[in-house]
Copies of this chain bind each other. A is one copy, B any other.
Amino acid sequence: MSPAEQINLILQTAHPAAYRALSSFGRQIYLPKGVPLQAAQAANARWNATIGQCTDDQGEAMPLAMMAERISDVDPKEAFLYTPQGGRKDLRAAWREHILSEADSKEEAQETLLSLPVTCAGLTHGLSVAAELFIDKDTEVFLPTPRWGNYDLIFGIRAQGKIHSYNFMLPSSQGMQLNIVDLIAQIKGAIAEGAKKIFLVLNFPNNPTGYNPTLKEADELVAALSGLFEGPEEPTEKPMITILLDEAYHGMEWEDDCCRQSLFFRLSKLDREHFLICKVDGATKEMFFFGGRIGFLSFATSSAASEVLEEKAIACIRSSISALSSIGQALLYEALCAEDLLEQQEKNRTVVRERYQVLKRELSQTKLSYWPFNSAFFAVVNVAGDPEEVRHRLLERGVGVVSIPSAGALRISYSTVPADMLPEMVQILEDTIINGS
């Protein structure tokens, strides 16, 4: 039996649906017992001649002096040498605790199935690893629309999935609302048509809308997903549903009725006979560490199945980028261990929340049409006509925004605009979009 077949067999027993969810590549990939394993076995050898890095006669890192001087407060080992495949074990354990700290109770934390998070080079990397492991050409991939443009590269051009766009929100008598009914109907339609594998991407808080489900909506969504296989039209061969939860903007929920707990807790309770839940999160936004490139990919499954999925994810990373930024991991690990982490995060969030509140207030006093927003860094404003044309006109007046042609709208990223500059910006938006001046 090949090494890949060996771990596949474990997964087939421990979480059959997760095995079925694997792409052709996902089934083939495994971590060879090569240099990293042999180096780990020799970690305490008197003569460790296993690994292609350099250490001095005391076993310390040998950085160029000028580089070391610039980060003299960081142990050179933690910045200049390699970290283990999959990331530092202490960091991965600390991030797992960080996730579980959101549980409603100690019991919920204990009962929640959560793998050891695999460290990735940022959140995009977590998304692309999940895409590689679970998407084939015939996988039905459901992506929200409007969406971050990179989703089309990651899940479409790169992973070659069959893309279905579902509306993230739909108009109702109360204005735009989170779309649950239509999303479920679309997935049921795919099931009825004989879909074998479904890959659903949920992005909460959402980019570009800046919307996060309320508690009520979160419960409704998970209940609706749970009911996908119920009812009289129950199909004979049920497909497998992989849900990828993209939580890049997690922790940036600005309203009290937002579901602040990661949706992962609710999703992880879905029947494992049909579902595999993947969570992508990380330090980029949540820890304001945009340049650090540290994200995580986690799975909701048993420890036996987790070990296999972790190995496959790590092998995927080894074959695409090998090791991760050491200093990024070191700084994040220290932050997670700091007693005042929450205070420091909150200090930054207060700045962004104030910008959110000012923008919301100012928009409400205009004739602009905009989508509901309560989270993350964004608001979406509708325009009549070509958004690209409006964007260029705004640029001429000193306002840089992003056009969303598919939605006939503009994305306003308020996280980079001082609160006291927002009123004038909104005035220019109104002048340009409504008055056409």
Contacts and interface: CB of A to CB of B under 8 A. Distances in A.
Interface of A: 25, 28-29, 32, 34-35, 38-39, 41-43, 45-57, 59, 61-67, 69-74, 78-83, 120-125, 128, 148-150, 152-154, 157-158, 207, 249, 285, 287-293, 315, 318-328, 331-332, 334-335, 338, 340-341, 344-345, 347-348, 351-352, 376-378, 391, 395, 398-403, 412-421, 424-425, 428
Contact of A46 (B73, B328, B347, B399): B399
Contacts of A421: 46-47
Contacts of A289: 63-64, 67, 80
A47 B319 contact: no
A423 to B, nearest CB: 11
Nearest to A420: B57
A344 B64 CA distance: 6
A54 to B, nearest CB: 5
A418 B32 CA distance: 29
A288 B80 contact: yes
B400 A47 contact: yes
Count the copies: 2
Given A52-B378, A82-B290, A290-B53, A45 B320 contact: no
A35 B73 contact: no
Given A38-B391, A344-B66, A320 B399 contact: no
Interface of A is mostly: mixed
Contact of A45 (B47, B55, B73, B400): B400
Nearest to A74: B70
11 contacts: A38-B400, A45-B400, A49-B425, A52-B413, A56-B351, A57-B419, A66-B334, A66-B338, A71-B327, A153-B318, A292-B326
B51 A413 contact: yes
Given A46-B399, A49-B417, A325-B327, 20 more contacts: A32-B152, A45-B399, A49-B412, A52-B207, A54-B415, A54-B416, A57-B418, A57-B420, A66-B341, A71-B74, A80-B291, A80-B292, A121-B121, A122-B322, A154-B320, A157-B319, A291-B325, A292-B326, A293-B326, A325-B328
Contact of A72 (B73, B149, B335): B73
Nearest to A410: B49
B62 A398 contact: no
A177 to B, nearest CB: 24
A293 B121 contact: yes
A389 B326 CA distance: 33
Given A70-B73, A128-B320, A398-B46, A335 B150 contact: no
A224 B352 CA distance: 62
A29 B345 CA distance: 38
Contacts of A334: 66-67, 70
A418 B46 CA distance: 11
A401 B49 contact: yes
Contacts of A62: 288, 348, 351
B64 A157 contact: no
A377 to B, nearest CB: 5
Nearest to A4: B157
B67 A128 contact: no
Contacts of A66: 334-335, 338, 340-341, 344
A94 to B, nearest CB: 14
Nearest to A71: B71
Contacts of A45: 395, 398-400
A150 B399 contact: no
Contacts of A351: 54, 56, 62
Contacts of A64: 287-289, 335, 341, 344-345, 348
A37 to B, nearest CB: 10
Contacts of A391: 38
Contacts of A292: 79-80, 325-327
Contact of A291 (B82, B293, B332): B82
Contacts of A324: 293
Given A32-B152, A288-B62, A321 B293 contact: yes
Contacts of A122: 321-323
